[in-house]
Amino acid sequence: GENVEQHPSTLSVQEGDSAVIKCTYSDSASNYFPWYKQELGKRPQLIIDIRSNVGEKKDQRIAVTLNKTAKHFSLHITETQPEDSAVYFCAASTGEGFQKLVFGTGTRLLVSP
Amino acid sequence: GAVVSQHPSWVICKSGTSVKIECRSLDFQATTMFWYRQFPKQSLMLMATSNEGSKATYEQGVEKDKFLINHASLTLSTLTVTSAHPEDSSFYICSAYLRLAGVVNEQFFGPGTRLTVL
């Protein structure tokens, strides 16, 4: 089955710096890769996603890149702000119809003012 | 936007009792819902896929007789933790799958239910 690895587990940056989180997946058939932000005790919130027919997608300060050959995808946050502090999870679709998601282990991002 | 609710938001129960958690899609119909479990400082682990009108599909290692899932309508799935024990204490999150014909396929998550078993 699908296996998703995520690095780093924790990431501390200064406000205004960029943050990069990387994920690798094992199932070459996966075709949907969402990223979620989760604050303590809250539900995961989709912040950006990318599908296998696209190599890069950007939404304001957030961007995601996908390398299908290498089976890895990355989240890039520019001009970080303290409110970006949270746990970020990557995920990859799998299973029949590719509706199921397998989540990475999470990255705790801390943005210091 | 698509909204998913869960009830209750938290529950405390004694060991050996059963607890039912409801997951509702409020403004769309979901033929497929998912149940996840999240332990503190860990990732979301998929427990089962709930399909309206049919039996749930459980992930490897999840006891189907302990975690009963019923998806009786297109807007409601329930998870019942039977004979709960302290090790079942966790954050349970559901999601509802929205498929727009030819367009987006996306999961929308409920707010989660924190279960504490004493």
The contact set of B with A (CB < 8 A) is 32, 34, 42-46, 49, 91, 93, 97, 105-107, 109-112, 114
Q: What is the pLDDT of residues B13-43, one digit of tens each?
A: 999 999 999 999 998 888 899 999 999 999 9
Residues in A closer than 8 angstroms to B42, CB to CB, are: 105-106
Residues 6+ apart with CB under 8 A from B84: B13, B15, B16, B17, B18, B19, B115, B117
Q: Which of A43, A95, A102 sits opposite B112 (nearest CB)?
A: A43
User: Is a pLDDT exceeding 90 seen at residue B48?
Assistant: yes
Residues 6+ apart with CB under 8 A from A60: none
* CA of residue A104 relative to chain centroid, distance: 8
pLDDT for position B103: 63
pLDDT for position A98: 67
Name the residue in chain B with its Cα closest to that of A94: B46
- Sign, CA dihedral A12-A17-A23-A29, equals positive
Strand partners, A36: A46, A89
Name the residue in chain B with its Cα closest to that of A4: B43
Tell me whether residues B105 and A32 touch, CB distance under 8 A.
yes
Q: Which of B42, B97, B109 sits opposite A99 (nearest CB)?
A: B97
Residues 6+ apart with CB under 8 A from A113: A15, A82
Residues in B closer than 8 angstroms to A99, CB to CB, are: 32, 49, 97, 105, 107
Here the tokens at position A61 are: 């300060």
DSSP state of B118: -
Q: What is the pLDDT of residues B63-112, one digit of tens each?
A: 999 999 998 888 999 999 999 999 999 999 999 988 776 666 789 999 99
Q: What is the pLDDT of residues A53-79, one digit of tens each?
A: 889 999 999 999 999 999 999 999 999
Residues of chain A with pLDDT > 70, as a percent, come to: 97
